[in-house]
Structure 1
Amino acid sequence: MGKFDGVLLLSDFDNTLVYTEDALLSGGRLPPLNSANREAIHYFMAEGGIFSVATGRALPSFAPIAPTLPMNGPTILFNGAALYDFAREEYLETAFLPEDIREKLLPVEEAFPGLVCEIYHDGNTIHTLHPSELTRNHLRLTGSSAVEVRSIGEVPPPISKVLFEETGQRGDALEQFVRSRSWAGEFEIVRSGKFFLEITAKGATKGGMAKKLAELLHIRPEDICCVGDQANDLSMLRLAGHAFAPANAIEAVRRAPGVELLPDCREDALAALIGRLDGLYA
């Protein structure tokens, strides 16, 4: 029996577990998990805890990363659209977009000529529309290849999520336009990082999938621990019995009720979190 038996710890990946923003902007390589965080996670798991990642990344972009991380639980992918067991190489749960999402997004394409986005399929294929330098850096950072299309309508179903990559005033206008559509309430529309706007199926959030994972593992609500830095992490932070955010998190996350602040992601935030759990579960 370990002190963390029955405790689930879910961490966002980008800029929470590993700081990746500099690499995204520069087109550099993905940084490794640092030794302090790695040792702390190994200690957490050795004491009976279940550690895994809840990420917006797709299966093909996270598959090369998963073997490099100490994890002993299924992974939440596509921002909550899927729960994947890398040990068994299979989906445990999925909540993909309905087929008519392609038809619904055609007016968005028409309103924003040259619209930049990535469209994630349920398998190992990522499609891109009008890829930009940001798109290429993002794909390089995730180690993914992509198939370029002329329209979202060319992407075969099922689609797990759509990731828009428009910045500045055009990005703000795009978000306002998407949220103003009559169908907006049928989907989850959320910011993930400074540059990305995501659409997933209704209920396909990190929090929704974290709840399913906890039920699958028979984890009590008070023993769910989550940490994240962006708006797409808020749903799982609200679910958590213990919620945390690194100092580099956006203000809405840092000020969310019940969220405990950690050091910056670049200053061993996960190690600090596990240190605090060590005291809570003494």
Structure 2
Amino acid sequence: MGKFQGVLLVSDFDNTLVYTEEVLLGGGSLPPLSRENRRALEYFTAQGGLFSVATGRALPSFAPIAPTLPMNGPTVLFNGAAIYDFARGEYLCTAFLPDSIRRDLHAVELAFPGLAAEIYHDGSQIHTLHPNDLTRNHMALTHSAATEADSILQVPMPISKVLFEETGQRGRDLERYIRSQPWARDFEIVRSGKFFLEITAKGATKGAMTQKLASVLGIRAENVCCVGDQANDLTMLAAAGHAFAPANAIEAVRRAPGVELLPDCREDALAALIDRLDGLYA
């Protein structure tokens, strides 16, 4: 029985646990978990804490990473569309997109010819539409292989999430167009980075799945601690008993009610968080 028994710590991965922005923009290899973060997380779990990751990454892109982390809890994948237990090799919960998503997004394709996107499923398969440099860097960063399709109509179901990769004015126009559609209210539409716009099923958010994860694990709401840096982390931070953000988080996250600021991700934010929990749960 350690001091963190009954405490769940859920962290975003990219640019919260590990800084990956430079690799995404310039290419290269995924940086490792820092020594200080690893040491702190090993201390947290040795003291009875449960550590989980909530990521926008798909199963095939996070599967190689999971064994390298001192993680002893299930993982929230696809930005909240599933909970996957890597120890058992199975989904504990899924909330995938309805079949209507192909019809709805085909209209978006027609409005934005050459639209770049990644489309994820329940297994190891990934499809891409009109991949650009950002797509290729992202696929290299996540060590993922994909099948290219000309249209979302060619992509099989089930679809767990769709990730659009358009930059600049075209990216802003795309987001406005999607949010203006009558079907938009039937889905979760969120920014998960400077260039990424994601669509998941209604209710498939990091916040909802983190609450479900806490329930599955028998963790009381006040003992759920969450940390993230992007708009897709806001629901998770709002649901947390203790919410944190690294200094590199976007302004909306840094200014969110109840969020406690940490050092930059590149300055071992998770180690600083666990140091604060060490005092909180003394």
Give TM class, smaller chain: over 0.9
Aligned twin of 1:138: 138
- Distance across 2 between alignment mates of 1:246 and 1:211: 22
How many percent identity over aligned positions?
A: 77
Q: CA deviation at 1:27?
A: 1.1
- Distance across 1 between alignment mates of 2:13 and 2:125: 21
Aligned twin of 1:157: 157
- Distance across 2 between alignment mates of 1:61 and 1:248: 23
Aligned twin of 1:8: 8
Q: CA deviation at 1:29?
A: 0.5
Q: Secondary structure in 2 aligned to 1:270? A: helix
Aligned twin of 2:198: 198
TM-score, length-scaled by structure 2 = 1.00
Q: How does 1:61-76 map to 2 (within 5 A)?
A: 61-76=61-76
- Distance across 2 between alignment mates of 1:153 and 1:91: 26
Q: How does 1:1-282 map to 2 (within 5 A)?
A: 1-282=1-282
Letter in 2 for 1:86: F
Deviation per CA, 1:235-255: give whole Å up to 9, x if none: 000000000000000000000
Deviation per CA, 1:116-172: give whole Å up to 9, x if none: 000001110110000001101000000000000000111100000000000011000
Deviation per CA, 1:27-74: give whole Å up to 9, x if none: 111000000000000000000000010000000000000011110000
Number of residue-to-residue matches in the alignment: 282
Q: Secondary structure in 2 aligned to 1:143? A: coil
- Distance across 1 between alignment mates of 2:237 and 2:66: 22
Letter in 1 for 2:175: E
Q: CA deviation at 1:100?
A: 1.1
- Distance across 1 between alignment mates of 2:213 and 2:107: 36
Q: CA deviation at 1:115?
A: 0.3
Letter in 1 for 2:43: Y
Letter in 2 for 1:134: L
- Distance across 2 between alignment mates of 1:149 and 1:265: 36
- Distance across 2 between alignment mates of 1:191 and 1:22: 18
- Distance across 2 between alignment mates of 1:122 and 1:217: 23
Structure 1 stretches (4+) deviating beyond 2 angstroms? Answer: none
Q: Secondary structure in 1 aligned to 2:127? A: strand
- Distance across 1 between alignment mates of 2:177 and 2:253: 24
Letter in 2 for 1:100: S
Letter in 1 for 2:267: E
Query: Any gaps of 5 or more consecutive residues in structure 1?
Result: none
Letter in 2 for 1:71: M
Q: Secondary structure in 2 aligned to 1:183? A: helix
Query: Any gaps of 5 or more consecutive residues in structure 2?
Result: none
Q: Secondary structure in 2 aligned to 1:164? A: strand
- Distance across 2 between alignment mates of 1:259 and 1:66: 26
TM-score, length-scaled by structure 1 = 1.00
Q: CA deviation at 1:275?
A: 0.1
CA RMSD in angstroms comes to 0.4
- Distance across 1 between alignment mates of 2:57 and 2:277: 27
